[in-house]
């Protein structure tokens, strides 16, 4: 290994024909790699006392999304859900996999359009309730084109 | 134990994806068109019932569309890819052995899993429908070829309610079904081989199943012997559980409007190369060369025709967008001729090897390679988190006059913040 000058300028090293290089200095590439490694690995100063305590940073995705396959985002338009803290322009996190229980906020499809409402199972049948005094309840008629698209799990509101 | 392989196939997948976010399309005749709104690539049941075949050019069915109020949508592959990933990931819960066969099909190994395969398959359908809103059909049989046919039966015949298990049938029942399936429907039988089989009086899937191996061997490739064995329930094709890294990456498009300007072609080639390089890095590979090609519209015989391609080898295998673009542009400039209206341009990455197998050379410039790798990693990360194309080469341009014609494309509901579905909170 002796006799290899690693500090040779790049241009001069390159000028040597490959056949010559490989015969006389077979390990120059390996050395170059080791040198690159060393440059990185040289410890500078005292190790951080917090090293042992490094944990993953908190992830909102992990916190807000229980089922990644069935979770979708939607945008709210309108004010009828104000009473439940859902405002115009808010971001809904909707999970399709969950059962739509009494009292859930759901995304429903009525006559081909998405709407966000609170779902109630009553003796009159399914009722969609807005959270605003100006908007009446909608009692779902059996012949009505109606499906529950998903259950709203979270609402993201910009303050 | 009898082998059991399921093929799960999404029903008119692209249309189903569109309906998920545009529920108003439910029950209406809908088609999705190929790039540049050329041909029909997905049809809702209502459209199939009107007798519209796959791959019909859109201009040829305009009258029918007007007459029946057919909704035609441009293809929205960002949406389809995301929904497909969700479906495949859900299906993987049902078996440890999964082969994702295409954007809308997956094989699942069911041997030794569950007693009641039909019930298990119904559960798959319900789960995918509830969680992702995509209708699927399931075919189950003892070989992949048969499970494809079982799926075909499940789809065409409402009596099966979306699930057909050949394994649970008697030989006579099964043969009765196979007798009614055209030989051209059998997996691996192309249109021309189907014609040749019919010449030999092999018309149905049952005829092919009963064809003597000898009979088939003369004049047909060895592949056919395997198809015959598979039809007889002998599994010859194993599940490919890991998608092999692609050996070639091609990115090409037809232009919305033809162009004769070199600058337009350069922009297009840079955009395609950028996309291809991203894919290359995603599968952790390097490429050894890049080919650029351009062509005029061969269907416009009145125009001067020119088509050409050039392969540029790279000094060493690379995944650096900048280097690949330089090479592709060099190739493009040397094949470009003025005075032609170009309709299509493309690039192809060749000589693809795993990044881990990078040949080591004596003159490796390690520091600048590390710089390139870090830059590409950062680029990919930003484009992933902030939307594709957030950071790109300036040469790609901003106007894209050559871009695809997509007149009626829906929003990218699941991959772009600005394009989410809107939920009404008013009456």
Name the residue ranges covered by the structural domains of chain A: 10-43, 67-156
If you search the block for the tokens 């989410």, which residue do you land on?
Answer: B420
Using pLDDT thresholds of 50, 70 and 90, give the confidence band for residue A20.
very low
The partner residue sitting opposite A116, judged by closest CB among B363, B370, B423, is B423
Residue A59 annotated in active site: no
pLDDT band at B325 (very low <50, low <70, confident <90, very high): very high
Q: CA A41 from chain center: how many Å?
A: 33
Query: For chain B, which residues make up each domain, given as ranges?
Result: 5-168, 171-231, 249-357+368-396
Domain covering B171-231 in this structure, CATH number: 1.10.150
* B322 vs A145, higher pLDDT: B322
Q: What is the pLDDT of residues B219-246, one digit of tens each?
A: 777 778 888 989 999 998 888 766 566 7
Higher pLDDT, A77 or B370: A77
Contacting residues of B for A85, CB less than 8 Å apart: none
| A52–chain B nearest CA distance, Å | 27
Interface pTM (ipTM) of the complex?
0.72
For tokens 């993987």, the residue is B92
- Touching check for B385 and chain A: CB below 8 Å? no
CATH number of A67-156: 2.10.109.10
- Whole-number mean pLDDT of chain B? 88
Provide the token pair at B353: 């090897």
- The DSSP bridge partners found for residue B39 are B57
Q: Are B154 and B137 in contact (CB under 8 A)?
A: yes
Mean pLDDT of B354-360: 79
Query: Residue B424: its chain A contacts at CB < 8 A?
Result: 77-78, 113-116
Our answer to whether residue A70 is catalytic in this structure is no
Specify the CATH number of the domain B249-357+368-396.
Answer: 3.30.1490.100
Q: Is the pLDDT of residue A12 over 60?
A: no
Task: Report the pLDDT value the prediction gives residue B245, as an integer from 0 to 100.
Answer: 66
pLDDT digits (tens, 9 = 90+) for A55-65: 778 889 999 99
What would the CATH number be for the domain defined by B5-168? 3.30.70.270
Confidence of residue A86 (pLDDT cuts 50, 70, 90): very high
Which of B361, B368, B423 is most worth mutating to test chain A (most A CB atoms within 10 A of its CB)?
B423
Q: What is the pLDDT of residue B90?
A: 96
Return the pLDDT at A2: 37
Residue A8 pLDDT = 40
- Mean pLDDT of the B402-425 span: 85
- Reported as type and span, the H/E element at residue A113 is strand A113-122
How do residues B23-66 score in pLDDT, each as one tens digit?
Answer: 999 999 999 998 777 889 999 999 999 999 988 888 888 899 99
- The yes-or-no verdict on residue A13 having pLDDT over 50 is no
């Amino acid at each position: 290994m002796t006799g290899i000058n690693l500090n040779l300028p790049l241009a001069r090293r390159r000028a040597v024909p490959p056949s010559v290089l490989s015969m006389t200095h077979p390990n120059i590439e390996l050395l170059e790699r080791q040198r690159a490694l060393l440059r990185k690995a040289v410890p500078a100063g005292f190790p951080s006392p917090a090293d042992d305590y490094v944990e993953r940073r908190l992830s909102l995705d992990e916190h807000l999304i229980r089922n990644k396959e069935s979770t979708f985002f939607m945008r709210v338009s309108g004010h009828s859900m104000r009473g439940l803290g859902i405002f115009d322009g808010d971001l809904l996190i909707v999970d399709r996999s969950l059962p739509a229980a009494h009292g859930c906020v759901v995304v429903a499809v009525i006559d081909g359009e998405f709407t966000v409402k609170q779902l109630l199972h009553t003796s009159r049948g399914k009722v969609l309730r807005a959270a605003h005094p100006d908007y009446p309840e909608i009692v779902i008629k059996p012949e009505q084109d109606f499906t529950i698209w998903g259950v709203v799990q979270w609402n993201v509101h910009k303050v | 134990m009898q082998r059991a392989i399921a093929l799960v196939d999404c029903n008119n997948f692209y249309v189903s994806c569109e309906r998920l976010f545009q529920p108003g399309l439910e029950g209406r005749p809908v088609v999705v068109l190929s790039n540049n709104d050329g041909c029909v690539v997905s049809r809702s049941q209502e459209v199939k019932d009107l007798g519209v075949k796959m791959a019909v050019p859109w201009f040829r069915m305009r009258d029918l569309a007007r007459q029946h109020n057919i909704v035609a949508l441009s293809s929205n592959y960002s949406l389809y890819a995301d929904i497909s990933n969700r479906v495949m990931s859900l299906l993987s819960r049902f078996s440890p052995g999964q082969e994702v066969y295409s954007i809308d099909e997956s094989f699942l190994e069911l041997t030794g899993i569950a007693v009641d395969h039909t019930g298990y398959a119904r559960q798959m359908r319900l789960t995918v429908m509830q969680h992702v809103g995509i209708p699927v059909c399931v075919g189950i049989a003892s070989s992949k070829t048969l499970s494809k046919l079982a799926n075909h039966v499940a789809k065409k015949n409402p009596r099966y309610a979306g699930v057909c298990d050949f394994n649970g049938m008697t030989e006579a029942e099964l043969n009765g079904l196979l007798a009614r399936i055209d030989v051209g429907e059998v997996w691996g039988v192309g249109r021309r081989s189907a014609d040749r089989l019919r010449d030999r009086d092999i018309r149905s899937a049952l005829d092919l199943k009963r064809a003597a191996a000898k009979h088939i061997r003369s004049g047909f490739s060895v592949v056919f012997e395997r198809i015959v064995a598979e039809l007889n329930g002998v599994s010859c094709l194993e599940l490919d559980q890991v998608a092999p890294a692609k050996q070639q990456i091609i990115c090409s498009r037809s232009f919305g409007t033809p162009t004769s300007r070199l600058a337009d072609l350069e922009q297009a080639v840079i955009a395609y190369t950028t996309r291809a390089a991203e894919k290359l890095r995603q599968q952790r590979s390097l490429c050894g060369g890049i080919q650029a090609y351009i062509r005029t519209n061969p269907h416009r015989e009145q125009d001067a025709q020119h088509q050409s391609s050039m392969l540029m080898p790279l000094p060493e295998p690379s995944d650096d967008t900048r280097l690949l673009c330089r090479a592709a542009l060099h190739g493009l400039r040397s094949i470009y001729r003025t005075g032609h209206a170009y309709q299509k341009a493309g690039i192809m990455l060749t000589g693809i090897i795993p990044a881990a197998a990078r040949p080591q050379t004596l003159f490796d410039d390690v520091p600048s390679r590390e710089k390139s790798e870090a830059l590409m990693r950062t680029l990919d990360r930003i484009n992933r988190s902030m939307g594709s194309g957030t950071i790109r080469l300036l040469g790609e341009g901003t106007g894209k006059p050559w871009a695809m014609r997509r007149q009626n494309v829906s929003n990218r509901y699941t991959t772009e913040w600005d394009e989410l579905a809107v939920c009404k909170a008013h009456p």
